Every structure is written in C-alpha cells, then in structure tokens.
C-alpha cells in the first residue's frame, strides 16, 4: 500500500467532487441523450403496442427479459462481493467496496425496470403490489413473478442501505470541507453525523449485520430469477440446476463489470494510487474461479440433457450446439471461457489491461448466455407445428443500449456527488494498529482516585 497521509487521501478522493471538465460534460451529455432515446423508444412502444418489438408467438420473451436477467445478474457484483470481503476482513477490499456497491444499486434499479418495460400494459404494473384494492383481488403469491417482486425489493432495500450507511461519515467530511449551498446540501445528506465513538461502533455493527443479511438475499434474488424459468414446464428451462447456475453466472458477470468500472474510474478520476494492480489481480483470481465454475455448470447442464436424450429437450439442445443458435452459443463459450481462462490463469497476463479484456469478454458472454437460455427454449417448445424464431426490433435494441448508457450516466453523476472510494474506510486501513494504546479507565478506578 502507499503511505499517504490522511490529508492527502482526503484531497485526492474529494477532488472529483470539486468541478467538471468539458470532457466530463460531453460524455455525460452523450449518455443522457442515449438514455432519452431509450425513453422515447419505450414511450413509443407504450403508445403503439408491443407489436413494435420482435416478439411473437411462441417467443413471448426476448431482449427485455434477457436484459432483466443480465442486469439483475450484474448487480451481484457489488453488495455480495463487498459483503463477503467485509466479513472475511480482506483489507484490500477497502478501495473497492463502494464502487462495487454502486454498481449493485444502479444495475438492480435498471434490471428491475425491465419487467415493467416488457409488460403488455405497463401502466398497470402496480397491480403486483400486495395492497387492498377496490378490485377486491390480491396478487398471486404462487407466481414466481411475485417472488421476484419481494426478492428484488428486499435486495434493493438491502443494497441501498449497504451503500448508504458507510457514506454518512464521508458526507460529514465533505460537509466540513465545503462552503455555501454545497455545505448545506451535505449537511442534510450527512444525517447529522459527528463521528462519536457511539456512532462509529453502531455503524460497524450495522454493517456487520447487513453483510450477513445481504449475502443470502443476493443468493435468493438470482435463484428466484432463475425460477421464473425453471418453474415453467418448458424444455431447457425446467431444471433443478438453474438456481445455482444463475447465481454463479450472476457473480461471474458482476465481478467482470466491477473490474471494468474500476479500470474506468482509475483512468478518469486519476485514482492510480488507490486502485492498484493488486486489486485487479485479486478480482481477476475471483473471476478465474467463477469462469471455471461457470464452465462446470454449463458442462453439467449440457451433459445431463444430452445423455437423457429426451425428444423435446433435444429439440432445444441441437439448435444451440450446431443449429441456428450455434454461432451465438460458441461465441458465448469463447467469451466466457476460452478468452478469460488463459488471461486470468497466466500471472503475466493478469495485468490491469488483461483483466479488463477478460471482463469485457465475460460481460458480452453472459449477456449471450441469458439470451440463449430464453429464446431457443421458447422457439422450440414441444409441438413442432408451433416452432418459431425471433429477431429483435430496433425498439428493443435501442432500449437495451440505453440501459448501458443509463448505468454510465448514473455512475458519472454519482462519482461527482459522492466520493467513489470510501474515504474513512481507506484511512482506517492506513492506520497501523498500535498495541500500546492505554486501556479505557474503568469507572471503579475513577471513583478510587
């Protein structure tokens, strides 16, 4: 680690909050425009009807649900990883946790949008809320979509809390170091944080509880997303392996997204002294493990299907291996395994650039995986008379692209308002703990004096 004084750390990490460069504004404007294009496409879809998508019978789910699963998967980057690292007291986590948790909150929000975007009547999405209504009907708890509703809301609440709680001390820091309207703003945002030992110890305790709570929630969220598919008697979906398979894929894509985000932050916010090669290397090792796990799951799933040789299962199996979906399938294997494996396994290649290349491959590959889970199964469902195919429309593509721009936009805005690296945690990590600190005088002693 570098030996920076606390004051240097303060200055380095708070610098991004101070002003905006023309380059920043140009990039932000670009992303905002793309997001607006996506919003326009969605409004057009609401106005004209879902006919503007490429969906048809029998492929009733396409890009939107792919994006849904992909983004929810991506959201497993942050909170889950940061919680595990916190609990295991990995000291190298300190500069990493917040940028990871931010990905979670934003990716999850984006992902949670898609079930609404894909609805036939999105203006009625609130019917999923369990509230007593004049319609005299409650939502159906037996539907996996309701499980999604509960799981995503719990996870969103948990990960927002997980992100926000350790921000409070940093808000107080910014409050004290700024003037004018900014001071007032951060005064409110700090919730009156002063930094008494009471507050510090309560915060540590709350973070420990949250870390314990958020890990099983994260696992349950992606399990439930997988059960959206596994609950339906559709060949290729109706499988017990789906929940762990999806969770593994989610963490896989999540780490990849984190590595990309960290590399971008490092470059544009000049955090070369904080996000070090060792961070990329450690995350790269995690990514390698997940890549192997992912390969293992794909192999196990494919093997079981192939050996079982059920006619309806094989009708889905062959198009993905050697038929019309084969190019996508093998591209996925290349992106998720063939490219990342050697890069991450060979120490010389496990550099910052190397891990970023591997991560880009993984993000693309995992998106393809989601697509390949959904579409081939739906298009080859039982009765051959109803086989179909699917081609995304312009509307679906623009909305998909807009969500990537949306993440970039939110991330850029966030890093201007809140220090993207947790200042106090980093400083706490720099302190070499001294064994010579005197013990707290006991009240009895006080009285004896």
Partner 1 sequence: MVIDLDRCTGCEACVVACHAENNIATVGEDQAARARAMHWIRVERYYEGEFPNVKTKFMPVPCQQCGAAPCEPVCPTFASYHTIEGLNGQVYNRCIGTRYCANACPYNTRFFNFYNPVWDKPLDLQLNPDVSVRSEGIMEKCTFCVQRIKAGEVQAAAEKRLVKDGEIQPACVQSCPTQAMVFGDLSDPESEASRLARSNRATRLLDELGTFPKVTYLQRGSWHDNENA
Partner 2 sequence: MASVNSIYGLFADPDAADRGVNALRHAGVAQDQIVVMSSEPHEGHAFSLLDHKTIMPWLAALGGVVGGACGFLLARYTQVAYPEPLITGGMPLVAPFPSAIVTYELTMMGAVITTVVTLLITARLLKWKQPLYDSEISYGKILVGVLGPSGAARTDLENRLRSAGAEKIKTTGQL
Binding site for partner 2 (CB under 8 A): 6-7, 10, 130, 137-143, 146-147, 150-151, 153-154, 157-158, 161, 165, 168-169, 172-173, 175-177, 187-188, 191-206, 209-210, 213-214, 216-217, 220, 224, 424, 427-428, 431, 433-434, 436-441, 443, 445-446, 449
Closest approach, Cβ 403 to partner 2, in A, equals 25
Closest approach, Cβ 81 to partner 1, in A, equals 31
Q: Which does 209 bind (CB under 5 to 8 A by kind): partner 2, partner 1, none?
A: partner 2
Closest approach, Cβ 305 to partner 2, in A, equals 24
In this structure, the chain runs to a length of 449
Token readout for 439 is 């013990």
Closest approach, Cβ 222 to partner 1, in A, equals 18
Count Cβ atoms within 10 A of the Cβ of residue 365 and give its class: 0-12 exposed, 13-18 middle, 19 or more buried.
Answer: buried
Tell which phi-psi region holds residue 108, choosing left (phi > 0), alpha (psi between -120 and 50) or beta.
alpha
Which of 48/209 has CB closer to partner 1? Answer: 48
d(CA 201, CA 213): 18
Which of 229/274 has CB closer to partner 1? Answer: 229
Task: Identify the DSSP state of 316.
Answer: H
Closest approach, Cβ 189 to partner 2, in A, equals 10
Closest approach, Cβ 134 to partner 2, in A, equals 14
Which of 195/342 has CB closer to partner 2? Answer: 195
Residue pair 321/377 in contact (Cβ under 8 Å)? The answer is: no
Q: Which does 201 bind (CB under 5 to 8 A by kind): partner 1, partner 2, none?
A: partner 2
Which of 22/443 has CB closer to partner 2? Answer: 443
Which of 34/374 has CB closer to partner 1? Answer: 374
Sites of contact with partner 1 (CB under 8 A): 48-51, 55-58, 60-61, 115, 118-122, 124-125, 127-128, 135, 137-140, 142-146, 149, 228, 231-234, 378, 381-386, 388
Token readout for 254 is 């999540």
d(CA 68, CA 74): 10
φ, ψ for residue 5, nearest 5 deg: -75, 155
- Within the chain, what is the greatest distance between any pair of CA atoms? 94
Task: Identify the DSSP state of 432.
Answer: P
Q: Which does 366 bind (CB under 5 to 8 A by kind): partner 2, partner 1, none?
A: none
For residue 152, which of 252, 99, 222, 81 has the smallest C-alpha distance? 222
Helix (H, G, I), strand (E, B) or coil at 159: helix
Q: Which does 26 bind (CB under 5 to 8 A by kind): partner 1, partner 2, none?
A: none
Give Cα 334 distance to the centre of its chain: 22
Task: Identify the DSSP state of 431.
Answer: S
Which of 49/192 has CB closer to partner 1? Answer: 49
Task: Identify the DSSP state of 420.
Answer: S
Closest approach, Cβ 202 to partner 2, in A, equals 4
């Amino acid at each position: 680690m570098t030996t920076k004084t606390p004051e240097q750390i303060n200055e380095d990490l708070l610098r991004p909050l101070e002003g905006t460069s023309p380059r920043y504004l140009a990039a932000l404007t670009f992303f905002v425009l793309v997001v607006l294009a996506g919003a326009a496409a969605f409004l057009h879809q609401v106005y004209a009807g879902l006919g503007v998508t490429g969906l048809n019978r029998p492929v009733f789910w396409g890009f939107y649900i792919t994006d849904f699963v992909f983004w929810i998967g991506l959201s497993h980057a942050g909170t889950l990883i940061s919680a595990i690292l916190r609990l295991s007291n990995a000291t190298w986590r300190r500069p990493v946790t917040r940028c990871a948790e931010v990905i979670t909150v934003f990716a999850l929000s984006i992902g949670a949008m898609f079930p609404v975007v894909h609805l036939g009547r999105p203006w009625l999405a609130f019917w999923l809320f369990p509230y007593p209504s004049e319609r005299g009907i409650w939502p159906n708890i037996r539907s996996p979509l309701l499980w999604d509703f509960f799981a995503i809301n719990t996870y969103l609440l948990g990960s927002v809390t997980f992100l926000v709680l350790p921000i409070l001390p940093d808000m107080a820091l910014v409050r004290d170091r700024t003037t004018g309207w900014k001071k007032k703003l951060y005064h409110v945002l700090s919730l009156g944080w002063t930094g008494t030992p009471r507050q510090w110890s309560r915060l540590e305790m709350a973070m420990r509880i949250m870390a314990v709570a958020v890990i099983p929630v994260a696992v349950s969220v992606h399990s439930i997303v997988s059960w959206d598919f596994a609950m339906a008697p559709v060949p290729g979906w109706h499988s017990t392996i789906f929940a762990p398979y999806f969770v593994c894929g989610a963490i896989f894509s999540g780490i990849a997204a984190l590595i990309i985000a960290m590399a971008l932050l490092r470059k544009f916010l000049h955090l070369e002294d904080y996000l070090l090669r060792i961070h990329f290397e450690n995350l790269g090792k995690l990514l390698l493990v997940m890549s192997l796990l992912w390969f293992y799951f794909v192999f196990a799933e494919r093997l079981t299907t192939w050996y079982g040789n059920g006619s309806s299962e094989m009708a889905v199996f062959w198009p993905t291996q050697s038929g019309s979906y084969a190019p996508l399938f093998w591209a996925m294997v290349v992106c998720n395994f063939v490219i990342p494996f050697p890069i991450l396994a060979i120490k010389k290649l496990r550099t910052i650039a190397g891990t970023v290349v591997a991560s880009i491959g993984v993000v693309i590959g995992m998106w393809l995986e989601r697509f390949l889970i959904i579409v081939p199964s739906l298009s080859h469902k039982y009765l051959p008379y109803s086989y179909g195919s699917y081609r995304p429309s312009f509307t679906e593509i623009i909305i998909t692209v807009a969500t990537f721009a949306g993440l970039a936009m939110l991330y850029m805005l966030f890093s201007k308002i809140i220090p993207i690296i947790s200042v106090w945690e980093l400083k706490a990590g720099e302190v070499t703990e001294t064994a010579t600190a005197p013990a707290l005088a006991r009240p009895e002693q006080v009285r004896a004096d």
